[in-house]
Chain A
Protein backbone atom coordinates (compact mmCIF):
# COMPACT_ATOMS: atom_id res chain seq x y z
CA UNK A 1 0.00 0.00 0.00
CA UNK A 2 2.98 2.30 0.63
CA UNK A 3 3.82 2.47 -3.08
CA UNK A 4 0.19 2.94 -4.06
CA UNK A 5 -0.23 5.88 -1.68
CA UNK A 6 3.08 7.40 -2.81
CA UNK A 7 1.96 7.38 -6.46
CA UNK A 8 -1.53 8.61 -5.51
CA UNK A 9 0.02 11.51 -3.56
CA UNK A 10 2.06 12.46 -6.59
CA UNK A 11 -1.05 12.57 -8.80
CA UNK A 12 -2.89 14.79 -6.30
CA UNK A 13 0.10 17.12 -6.08
CA UNK A 14 0.17 17.35 -9.87
CA UNK A 15 -3.52 18.26 -10.04
CA UNK A 16 -3.35 21.10 -7.54
CA UNK A 17 -0.18 22.48 -9.10
CA UNK A 18 -1.74 22.59 -12.55
CA UNK A 19 -4.28 25.20 -13.62
CA UNK A 20 -7.02 22.94 -15.09
CA UNK A 21 -9.06 22.62 -11.90
CA UNK A 22 -8.88 26.32 -11.03
CA UNK A 23 -9.90 27.38 -14.55
CA UNK A 24 -12.92 25.06 -14.58
CA UNK A 25 -13.95 26.05 -11.07
CA UNK A 26 -13.74 29.77 -11.80
CA UNK A 27 -15.68 29.23 -15.03
CA UNK A 28 -18.44 27.27 -13.26
CA UNK A 29 -18.59 29.82 -10.43
CA UNK A 30 -18.75 32.77 -12.83
CA UNK A 31 -21.53 31.31 -14.99
CA UNK A 32 -23.56 30.30 -11.93
CA UNK A 33 -23.11 33.66 -10.19
CA UNK A 34 -24.01 35.46 -13.39
CA UNK A 35 -27.16 33.40 -13.81
CA UNK A 36 -27.96 33.80 -10.11
CA UNK A 37 -27.80 37.57 -10.35
CA UNK A 38 -30.43 37.73 -13.08
CA UNK A 39 -34.10 37.63 -12.19
CA UNK A 40 -35.98 36.18 -15.18
CA UNK A 41 -39.64 37.22 -15.42
CA UNK A 42 -39.83 37.67 -11.62
CA UNK A 43 -40.25 33.88 -11.41
CA UNK A 44 -39.52 32.47 -7.93
CA UNK A 45 -38.94 29.00 -9.40
CA UNK A 46 -35.97 30.34 -11.28
CA UNK A 47 -33.79 28.82 -8.57
CA UNK A 48 -34.48 25.34 -10.04
CA UNK A 49 -33.09 26.40 -13.39
CA UNK A 50 -30.12 27.94 -11.66
CA UNK A 51 -29.49 24.73 -9.71
CA UNK A 52 -29.93 22.64 -12.84
CA UNK A 53 -27.44 24.73 -14.82
CA UNK A 54 -24.95 24.77 -11.95
CA UNK A 55 -25.14 20.98 -11.50
CA UNK A 56 -24.79 20.42 -15.24
CA UNK A 57 -21.66 22.60 -15.23
CA UNK A 58 -20.31 20.65 -12.25
CA UNK A 59 -20.88 17.35 -14.10
CA UNK A 60 -19.21 18.63 -17.24
CA UNK A 61 -16.27 20.16 -15.31
CA UNK A 62 -15.60 17.09 -13.18
CA UNK A 63 -15.88 14.77 -16.19
CA UNK A 64 -13.38 16.95 -18.07
CA UNK A 65 -11.03 17.02 -15.06
CA UNK A 66 -11.32 13.23 -14.56
CA UNK A 67 -10.80 12.36 -18.22
CA UNK A 68 -7.98 14.80 -18.99
CA UNK A 69 -6.11 14.15 -15.75
CA UNK A 70 -6.30 10.38 -16.09
CA UNK A 71 -5.64 10.24 -19.82
CA UNK A 72 -2.24 11.87 -19.49
CA UNK A 73 -0.96 9.91 -16.47
CA UNK A 74 0.76 6.88 -18.04
CA UNK A 75 1.55 8.47 -21.46
CA UNK A 76 3.22 11.44 -19.69
CA UNK A 77 5.30 9.05 -17.58
CA UNK A 78 6.42 7.30 -20.77
CA UNK A 79 7.04 10.48 -22.71
CA UNK A 80 9.17 12.10 -20.02
CA UNK A 81 10.70 8.65 -19.32
CA UNK A 82 9.99 8.95 -15.57
CA UNK A 83 8.33 5.54 -15.79
CA UNK A 84 11.79 3.95 -16.04
CA UNK A 85 13.28 5.14 -12.74
CA UNK A 86 9.88 4.49 -11.17
CA UNK A 87 9.55 0.88 -12.32
CA UNK A 88 13.26 0.30 -11.64
CA UNK A 89 12.33 0.62 -7.96
CA UNK A 90 10.62 -2.13 -5.99
CA UNK A 91 7.27 -1.23 -7.44
CA UNK A 92 4.98 -3.53 -9.40
CA UNK A 93 3.07 -2.39 -12.44
CA UNK A 94 -0.17 -3.24 -10.64
CA UNK A 95 0.78 -0.88 -7.81
CA UNK A 96 1.46 1.87 -10.33
CA UNK A 97 -1.96 1.38 -11.96
CA UNK A 98 -3.83 1.31 -8.63
CA UNK A 99 -1.81 4.31 -7.37
CA UNK A 100 -2.66 6.31 -10.48
CA UNK A 101 -6.33 5.35 -10.16
CA UNK A 102 -6.51 6.24 -6.47
CA UNK A 103 -4.70 9.54 -7.04
CA UNK A 104 -7.02 10.59 -9.86
CA UNK A 105 -10.10 9.45 -7.95
CA UNK A 106 -9.09 11.24 -4.75
CA UNK A 107 -8.16 14.38 -6.70
CA UNK A 108 -11.55 14.34 -8.47
CA UNK A 109 -13.25 13.72 -5.11
CA UNK A 110 -11.57 16.82 -3.70
CA UNK A 111 -12.61 18.85 -6.73
CA UNK A 112 -16.13 17.48 -6.34
CA UNK A 113 -16.33 18.63 -2.72
CA UNK A 114 -15.19 22.13 -3.68
CA UNK A 115 -17.74 22.32 -6.52
CA UNK A 116 -20.64 20.99 -4.42
CA UNK A 117 -19.72 23.27 -1.51
CA UNK A 118 -20.02 26.23 -3.84
CA UNK A 119 -23.28 24.81 -5.20
CA UNK A 120 -24.60 24.34 -1.65
CA UNK A 121 -23.86 27.96 -0.76
CA UNK A 122 -25.58 29.27 -3.91
CA UNK A 123 -28.54 26.96 -3.43
CA UNK A 124 -28.96 27.71 0.30
CA UNK A 125 -28.62 31.45 -0.24
CA UNK A 126 -31.49 31.37 -2.73
CA UNK A 127 -33.79 28.79 -1.10
CA UNK A 128 -32.87 29.58 2.53
CA UNK A 129 -32.92 25.86 3.28
CA UNK A 130 -30.90 22.79 2.41
CA UNK A 131 -31.67 19.08 2.81
CA UNK A 132 -28.44 17.23 3.36
CA UNK A 133 -29.33 13.62 2.50
CA UNK A 134 -29.96 14.17 -1.24
CA UNK A 135 -26.81 16.32 -1.40
CA UNK A 136 -24.66 13.64 0.20
CA UNK A 137 -26.17 10.98 -2.10
CA UNK A 138 -25.64 13.15 -5.17
CA UNK A 139 -21.99 13.74 -4.27
CA UNK A 140 -21.39 10.10 -3.36
CA UNK A 141 -22.97 8.69 -6.55
CA UNK A 142 -21.22 11.32 -8.66
CA UNK A 143 -17.90 10.25 -7.13
CA UNK A 144 -18.65 6.56 -7.77
CA UNK A 145 -19.47 7.40 -11.38
CA UNK A 146 -16.14 9.21 -11.68
CA UNK A 147 -14.43 6.09 -10.33
CA UNK A 148 -15.77 4.05 -13.26
CA UNK A 149 -14.86 6.84 -15.69
CA UNK A 150 -11.30 7.07 -14.34
CA UNK A 151 -10.80 3.30 -14.51
CA UNK A 152 -12.10 3.34 -18.09
CA UNK A 153 -9.79 6.18 -19.14
CA UNK A 154 -6.82 4.53 -17.43
CA UNK A 155 -7.41 1.42 -19.54
CA UNK A 156 -7.65 3.65 -22.60
CA UNK A 157 -4.32 5.28 -21.72
CA UNK A 158 -2.61 1.89 -21.94
CA UNK A 159 -4.32 0.94 -25.20
CA UNK A 160 -4.16 4.26 -27.08
CA UNK A 161 -0.80 5.95 -27.50
CA UNK A 162 -1.94 9.58 -27.61
CA UNK A 163 -3.69 11.08 -24.55
CA UNK A 164 -5.78 13.35 -26.79
CA UNK A 165 -7.25 10.48 -28.79
CA UNK A 166 -7.90 8.52 -25.60
CA UNK A 167 -9.62 11.51 -23.99
CA UNK A 168 -11.76 12.15 -27.07
CA UNK A 169 -12.81 8.50 -27.45
CA UNK A 170 -13.56 8.17 -23.75
CA UNK A 171 -15.58 11.39 -23.63
CA UNK A 172 -17.67 10.24 -26.62
CA UNK A 173 -18.25 6.83 -24.98
CA UNK A 174 -19.13 8.41 -21.61
CA UNK A 175 -21.53 10.96 -23.09
CA UNK A 176 -23.00 8.19 -25.28
CA UNK A 177 -23.62 5.98 -22.24
CA UNK A 178 -25.07 8.87 -20.21
CA UNK A 179 -27.56 9.74 -22.95
CA UNK A 180 -28.33 6.42 -24.63
CA UNK A 181 -27.20 3.74 -22.15
CA UNK A 182 -30.58 3.52 -20.41
CA UNK A 183 -32.53 3.29 -23.66
CA UNK A 184 -30.55 0.47 -25.27
CA UNK A 185 -32.91 -2.27 -24.03
CA UNK A 186 -35.86 -0.36 -25.45
CA UNK A 187 -34.07 -0.03 -28.78
CA UNK A 188 -33.19 -3.74 -28.70
CA UNK A 189 -36.81 -4.81 -28.26
CA UNK A 190 -37.71 -2.85 -31.38
CA UNK A 191 -34.98 -4.62 -33.38
CA UNK A 192 -35.06 -8.16 -34.73
CA UNK A 193 -32.40 -10.82 -35.23
CA UNK A 194 -28.68 -10.46 -34.64
CA UNK A 195 -28.66 -6.65 -34.35
CA UNK A 196 -31.20 -6.76 -31.53
CA UNK A 197 -29.09 -9.36 -29.72
CA UNK A 198 -25.98 -7.21 -30.03
CA UNK A 199 -27.76 -4.12 -28.68
CA UNK A 200 -29.17 -6.19 -25.81
CA UNK A 201 -25.71 -7.57 -25.01
CA UNK A 202 -24.35 -4.03 -25.12
CA UNK A 203 -27.01 -2.92 -22.66
CA UNK A 204 -25.82 -5.51 -20.15
CA UNK A 205 -22.09 -5.03 -20.77
CA UNK A 206 -21.70 -1.25 -20.57
CA UNK A 207 -21.37 0.43 -17.17
CA UNK A 208 -24.62 2.35 -16.65
CA UNK A 209 -23.22 5.74 -15.74
CA UNK A 210 -26.63 7.34 -16.11
CA UNK A 211 -27.76 5.60 -12.88
CA UNK A 212 -25.40 7.83 -10.95
CA UNK A 213 -26.87 11.06 -12.25
CA UNK A 214 -29.36 12.03 -9.52
CA UNK A 215 -29.36 15.75 -10.20
CA UNK A 216 -33.17 15.85 -10.33
CA UNK A 217 -33.36 14.89 -6.65
CA UNK A 218 -31.41 17.97 -5.70
CA UNK A 219 -32.89 20.32 -8.30
CA UNK A 220 -36.55 19.55 -7.49
CA UNK A 221 -36.04 18.80 -3.78
CA UNK A 222 -37.51 15.31 -4.23
CA UNK A 223 -35.84 13.97 -1.11
CA UNK A 224 -33.33 11.18 -0.84
CA UNK A 225 -33.39 7.74 -2.44
CA UNK A 226 -33.25 4.48 -0.51
CA UNK A 227 -29.77 4.02 0.99
CA UNK A 228 -29.88 0.36 -0.07
CA UNK A 229 -30.13 1.46 -3.69
CA UNK A 230 -27.20 3.78 -3.04
CA UNK A 231 -25.23 0.83 -1.60
CA UNK A 232 -26.14 -1.34 -4.60
CA UNK A 233 -24.91 1.35 -6.98
CA UNK A 234 -21.69 1.56 -4.97
CA UNK A 235 -21.11 -2.21 -5.24
CA UNK A 236 -21.85 -2.02 -8.99
CA UNK A 237 -19.25 0.78 -9.35
CA UNK A 238 -16.66 -1.08 -7.27
CA UNK A 239 -17.17 -4.22 -9.38
CA UNK A 240 -16.69 -2.29 -12.63
CA UNK A 241 -13.66 -0.43 -11.30
CA UNK A 242 -12.12 -3.73 -10.15
CA UNK A 243 -12.78 -5.35 -13.53
CA UNK A 244 -11.43 -2.40 -15.54
CA UNK A 245 -8.32 -2.06 -13.36
CA UNK A 246 -7.72 -5.81 -13.67
CA UNK A 247 -7.85 -5.58 -17.46
CA UNK A 248 -5.60 -2.49 -17.39
CA UNK A 249 -3.04 -4.34 -15.28
CA UNK A 250 -3.16 -7.41 -17.54
CA UNK A 251 -2.57 -5.29 -20.66
CA UNK A 252 0.10 -3.12 -19.00
CA UNK A 253 1.95 -6.16 -17.63
CA UNK A 254 2.42 -7.54 -21.13
CA UNK A 255 3.67 -4.27 -22.59
CA UNK A 256 7.45 -4.20 -22.94
CA UNK A 257 9.03 -0.97 -21.73
CA UNK A 258 11.90 -0.27 -24.04
CA UNK A 259 13.89 2.61 -22.53
Chain B
Protein backbone atom coordinates (compact mmCIF):
# COMPACT_ATOMS: atom_id res chain seq x y z
CA UNK B 1 0.00 0.00 0.00
CA UNK B 2 2.79 2.38 0.93
CA UNK B 3 4.76 1.58 -2.20
CA UNK B 4 1.69 2.09 -4.36
CA UNK B 5 0.83 5.30 -2.53
CA UNK B 6 4.35 6.67 -2.95
CA UNK B 7 4.66 5.93 -6.62
CA UNK B 8 1.24 7.40 -7.34
CA UNK B 9 2.08 10.38 -5.17
CA UNK B 10 5.07 11.07 -7.38
CA UNK B 11 2.82 11.12 -10.42
CA UNK B 12 -0.14 12.96 -8.89
CA UNK B 13 1.34 14.89 -5.96
CA UNK B 14 -1.89 16.70 -5.12
CA UNK B 15 -4.26 13.80 -5.34
CA UNK B 16 -2.77 10.96 -3.36
CA UNK B 17 -1.97 11.22 0.33
CA UNK B 18 -0.22 8.65 2.42
CA UNK B 19 -2.57 6.53 4.59
CA UNK B 20 -4.65 8.31 7.28
CA UNK B 21 -4.14 11.67 5.59
CA UNK B 22 -0.66 12.21 6.96
CA UNK B 23 0.33 15.70 5.84
CA UNK B 24 3.87 15.41 7.19
CA UNK B 25 5.55 12.04 7.43
CA UNK B 26 9.08 11.54 8.68
CA UNK B 27 10.66 8.10 8.83
CA UNK B 28 13.95 7.22 10.53
CA UNK B 29 15.31 10.66 9.87
CA UNK B 30 18.95 11.15 10.68
CA UNK B 31 20.84 14.39 10.09
CA UNK B 32 24.54 14.81 10.73
CA UNK B 33 26.44 18.04 10.32
CA UNK B 34 30.17 17.76 9.56
CA UNK B 35 32.09 19.06 12.52
CA UNK B 36 34.59 21.51 11.06
CA UNK B 37 36.30 22.05 14.38
CA UNK B 38 37.39 18.42 14.49
CA UNK B 39 38.61 18.49 10.91
CA UNK B 40 37.38 16.74 7.83
CA UNK B 41 36.26 13.17 8.42
CA UNK B 42 37.05 13.29 12.11
CA UNK B 43 33.57 13.49 13.45
CA UNK B 44 30.11 14.87 12.93
CA UNK B 45 27.44 16.51 15.02
CA UNK B 46 24.32 14.41 15.19
CA UNK B 47 21.40 16.85 15.01
CA UNK B 48 18.52 14.44 14.48
CA UNK B 49 18.68 10.77 15.37
CA UNK B 50 16.15 8.26 14.00
CA UNK B 51 13.14 10.59 14.09
CA UNK B 52 9.74 9.14 13.22
CA UNK B 53 6.91 11.63 13.12
CA UNK B 54 3.54 12.02 11.57
CA UNK B 55 1.33 15.11 11.46
CA UNK B 56 -2.22 14.48 10.34
CA UNK B 57 -4.46 16.69 8.29
CA UNK B 58 -6.22 19.47 10.19
CA UNK B 59 -4.24 19.23 13.42
CA UNK B 60 -2.06 21.78 15.17
CA UNK B 61 1.16 20.06 16.12
CA UNK B 62 3.57 21.65 18.59
CA UNK B 63 7.19 20.70 18.09
CA UNK B 64 9.00 21.29 21.36
CA UNK B 65 12.47 20.88 22.69
CA UNK B 66 15.29 22.83 24.30
CA UNK B 67 17.68 24.86 22.14
CA UNK B 68 19.81 22.57 19.99
CA UNK B 69 17.36 19.67 20.26
CA UNK B 70 17.01 19.39 16.47
CA UNK B 71 13.67 21.15 15.89
CA UNK B 72 14.92 23.66 13.37
CA UNK B 73 17.03 21.00 11.63
CA UNK B 74 13.91 18.86 11.20
CA UNK B 75 12.07 21.86 9.76
CA UNK B 76 15.04 22.56 7.49
CA UNK B 77 14.80 19.02 6.13
CA UNK B 78 11.05 19.41 5.55
CA UNK B 79 11.68 22.64 3.66
CA UNK B 80 14.51 21.19 1.58
CA UNK B 81 17.21 23.44 3.08
CA UNK B 82 19.19 20.53 4.49
CA UNK B 83 19.53 17.03 3.08
CA UNK B 84 18.92 14.11 5.41
CA UNK B 85 21.89 11.84 6.07
CA UNK B 86 19.45 8.92 6.03
CA UNK B 87 15.73 8.32 6.32
CA UNK B 88 12.95 10.03 4.47
CA UNK B 89 10.52 12.92 4.82
CA UNK B 90 7.48 13.76 2.78
CA UNK B 91 4.84 16.49 2.68
CA UNK B 92 1.46 15.54 1.23
CA UNK B 93 3.10 12.30 0.13
CA UNK B 94 5.74 14.09 -1.97
CA UNK B 95 9.44 13.74 -1.18
CA UNK B 96 10.65 17.01 0.38
CA UNK B 97 13.61 17.09 -2.03
CA UNK B 98 11.21 18.05 -4.83
CA UNK B 99 10.36 21.79 -4.96
CA UNK B 100 6.73 20.91 -5.83
CA UNK B 101 6.38 19.48 -2.28
CA UNK B 102 6.40 23.09 -1.09
CA UNK B 103 3.54 24.27 -3.30
CA UNK B 104 0.90 23.87 -0.59
CA UNK B 105 2.86 25.00 2.43
CA UNK B 106 3.37 28.35 4.10
CA UNK B 107 6.55 28.90 6.08
CA UNK B 108 7.32 31.52 8.67
CA UNK B 109 10.99 31.54 9.66
CA UNK B 110 12.21 32.88 12.95
CA UNK B 111 13.17 36.58 12.82
CA UNK B 112 13.49 37.44 9.16
CA UNK B 113 14.12 40.94 7.84
CA UNK B 114 12.20 41.13 4.58
CA UNK B 115 13.34 43.14 1.55
CA UNK B 116 13.85 46.68 2.84
CA UNK B 117 13.22 48.29 -0.53
CA UNK B 118 9.70 46.84 -0.86
CA UNK B 119 6.45 47.63 0.88
CA UNK B 120 4.15 44.92 2.25
CA UNK B 121 1.95 44.92 -0.82
CA UNK B 122 4.88 44.51 -3.22
CA UNK B 123 6.41 41.78 -1.07
CA UNK B 124 3.18 39.80 -1.07
CA UNK B 125 2.73 40.33 -4.82
CA UNK B 126 6.23 38.91 -5.36
CA UNK B 127 5.54 35.79 -3.29
CA UNK B 128 2.08 35.36 -4.85
CA UNK B 129 3.70 35.37 -8.26
CA UNK B 130 6.06 32.56 -7.22
CA UNK B 131 3.04 30.52 -6.14
CA UNK B 132 1.43 31.31 -9.51
CA UNK B 133 -1.61 32.84 -7.87
CA UNK B 134 -3.70 34.10 -10.84
CA UNK B 135 -3.47 37.86 -11.41
CA UNK B 136 -7.15 38.43 -10.69
CA UNK B 137 -6.92 36.53 -7.43
CA UNK B 138 -3.65 38.14 -6.27
CA UNK B 139 -5.02 41.47 -5.08
CA UNK B 140 -7.91 39.76 -3.27
CA UNK B 141 -5.48 37.49 -1.43
CA UNK B 142 -3.18 40.38 -0.57
CA UNK B 143 -6.08 42.37 0.85
CA UNK B 144 -7.34 39.41 2.83
CA UNK B 145 -4.00 38.44 4.42
CA UNK B 146 -3.11 42.05 5.20
CA UNK B 147 -6.46 42.37 6.93
CA UNK B 148 -5.85 39.16 8.85
CA UNK B 149 -2.47 40.32 10.17
CA UNK B 150 -3.77 43.88 10.67
CA UNK B 151 -1.28 45.60 8.38
CA UNK B 152 -3.76 47.30 6.06
CA UNK B 153 -2.76 50.77 7.23
CA UNK B 154 0.94 50.12 6.65
CA UNK B 155 0.63 48.31 3.32
CA UNK B 156 2.26 51.12 1.30
CA UNK B 157 5.05 51.79 3.79
CA UNK B 158 8.52 50.42 3.10
CA UNK B 159 9.24 47.34 5.21
CA UNK B 160 12.43 48.94 6.56
CA UNK B 161 10.22 51.27 8.62
CA UNK B 162 8.34 48.37 10.29
CA UNK B 163 8.69 47.43 13.96
CA UNK B 164 9.74 43.90 14.96
CA UNK B 165 6.13 42.88 15.55
CA UNK B 166 5.06 44.25 12.17
CA UNK B 167 7.96 42.39 10.50
CA UNK B 168 6.74 39.18 12.09
CA UNK B 169 3.17 39.88 10.96
CA UNK B 170 4.23 40.59 7.38
CA UNK B 171 6.11 37.27 7.62
CA UNK B 172 2.92 35.58 8.63
CA UNK B 173 1.11 37.27 5.74
CA UNK B 174 3.66 35.93 3.23
CA UNK B 175 3.25 32.46 4.75
CA UNK B 176 -0.50 32.67 4.10
CA UNK B 177 -0.46 34.23 0.62
CA UNK B 178 -0.94 30.90 -1.18
CA UNK B 179 -3.78 29.84 1.14
CA UNK B 180 -1.63 26.90 2.30
CA UNK B 181 -2.93 23.61 3.62
CA UNK B 182 0.12 23.22 5.85
CA UNK B 183 1.79 25.97 7.83
CA UNK B 184 5.28 25.51 9.20
CA UNK B 185 6.01 28.15 11.81
CA UNK B 186 9.42 28.39 13.45
CA UNK B 187 8.94 30.13 16.80
CA UNK B 188 6.27 32.48 15.47
CA UNK B 189 6.00 34.52 18.65
CA UNK B 190 9.72 34.86 19.28
CA UNK B 191 10.64 38.43 20.17
CA UNK B 192 7.05 39.68 20.21
CA UNK B 193 5.39 41.62 23.00
CA UNK B 194 2.36 40.06 24.78
CA UNK B 195 -0.07 41.79 22.42
CA UNK B 196 1.82 40.56 19.37
CA UNK B 197 1.87 37.03 20.79
CA UNK B 198 -1.85 37.16 21.41
CA UNK B 199 -2.47 38.25 17.82
CA UNK B 200 -0.33 35.45 16.38
CA UNK B 201 -2.08 32.95 18.66
CA UNK B 202 -5.46 34.19 17.46
CA UNK B 203 -4.38 33.77 13.85
CA UNK B 204 -3.25 30.18 14.51
CA UNK B 205 -6.60 29.46 16.20
CA UNK B 206 -8.45 30.90 13.22
CA UNK B 207 -6.41 28.79 10.81
CA UNK B 208 -7.15 25.72 12.89
CA UNK B 209 -10.87 26.48 12.65
CA UNK B 210 -10.47 26.69 8.88
CA UNK B 211 -9.10 23.15 8.93
CA UNK B 212 -5.48 24.03 8.17
CA UNK B 213 -2.65 21.87 9.43
CA UNK B 214 -0.14 23.78 11.53
CA UNK B 215 3.30 22.47 12.47
CA UNK B 216 5.11 24.84 14.75
CA UNK B 217 8.00 25.03 17.13
CA UNK B 218 7.86 27.18 20.22
CA UNK B 219 9.37 27.72 23.63
CA UNK B 220 6.13 29.27 24.89
CA UNK B 221 4.59 26.23 26.54
CA UNK B 222 1.48 28.07 27.70
CA UNK B 223 0.79 29.03 24.12
CA UNK B 224 1.41 25.46 22.95
CA UNK B 225 -1.00 24.16 25.57
CA UNK B 226 -3.66 26.58 24.34
CA UNK B 227 -3.48 25.97 20.62
CA UNK B 228 -2.02 22.50 20.01
CA UNK B 229 -3.89 19.26 19.46
CA UNK B 230 -0.74 17.19 19.78
CA UNK B 231 2.84 17.84 20.76
CA UNK B 232 6.16 16.12 20.28
CA UNK B 233 9.12 16.75 22.56
CA UNK B 234 12.54 16.42 21.01
CA UNK B 235 15.71 16.17 23.07
CA UNK B 236 19.25 15.60 21.79
CA UNK B 237 17.91 14.78 18.35
CA UNK B 238 15.49 12.09 19.52
CA UNK B 239 11.73 12.26 19.85
CA UNK B 240 11.19 11.52 23.55
CA UNK B 241 7.44 11.78 23.71
CA UNK B 242 4.50 12.40 21.39
CA UNK B 243 0.80 12.71 22.08
CA UNK B 244 -2.11 14.99 22.78
CA UNK B 245 -1.59 17.67 25.42
CA UNK B 246 -4.43 16.24 27.55
CA UNK B 247 -2.95 12.71 27.47
CA UNK B 248 0.51 13.91 28.44
CA UNK B 249 -0.80 16.07 31.26
CA UNK B 250 -2.83 13.12 32.56
CA UNK B 251 0.03 10.65 32.13
CA UNK B 252 2.61 12.79 33.95
CA UNK B 253 0.15 14.33 36.44
CA UNK B 254 1.45 17.84 35.88
CA UNK B 255 1.17 20.75 33.43
CA UNK B 256 2.94 20.78 30.06
CA UNK B 257 5.84 22.85 31.37
CA UNK B 258 6.66 20.24 34.00
CA UNK B 259 6.17 17.42 31.49
CA UNK B 260 8.71 19.19 29.29
CA UNK B 261 11.18 19.63 32.15
CA UNK B 262 10.87 15.99 33.17
CA UNK B 263 11.43 14.81 29.59
CA UNK B 264 14.57 16.90 29.11
CA UNK B 265 15.86 15.67 32.48
CA UNK B 266 15.86 18.99 34.33
CA UNK B 267 16.71 18.60 38.01
CA UNK B 268 16.05 21.65 40.17
CA UNK B 269 19.04 22.57 42.32
CA UNK B 270 18.29 22.23 46.07
CA UNK B 271 18.34 25.59 47.86
CA UNK B 272 21.24 26.03 50.27
Report which A residues bind B (CB closer than 8 A).
Answer: 2-3, 6, 9-10, 13-14, 17-18, 80-82, 84-92, 256-259
Contacts and interface: CB of A to CB of B under 8 A. Distances in A.
A82 B111 CA distance: 10
Given A81-B112, A257-B76, A2 B132 contact: yes
Given A14-B115, A90-B99, A85 B175 contact: yes
A161 to B, nearest CB: 13
Nearest to B125: A6
Interface string B126-158: 110111100000000000000000000000000
A259 B76 contact: yes
B115 A82 contact: yes
Contacts of A13: 117-118, 122
Nearest to B127: A89
Interface residues of B, number: 40
28 contacts: A2-B129, A10-B115, A10-B118, A80-B114, A81-B111, A82-B113, A82-B114, A84-B79, A84-B107, A84-B109, A84-B112, A85-B109, A85-B114, A85-B171, A85-B175, A87-B80, A87-B81, A88-B80, A88-B81, A88-B105, A88-B107, A89-B131, A90-B99, A256-B33, A257-B82, A258-B72, A258-B81, A258-B82
Interface in B99-123: 99-100, 102-103, 105, 107-118, 122
Contacts of A92: 99
B23 interface: no
B88 interface: no
B83 interface: yes
Contact of A80 (B102, B108, B113): B113
B106 to A, nearest CB: 8
Contact of A6 (B83, B105, B116, B126): B126
Contacts of A86: 130
Nearest to A18: B117
Output the residue of A18, A81, A84 with the most chain B CB within 10 A: A84
Contacts of B111: 81
Given A85-B127, A87-B81, A259 B72 contact: yes
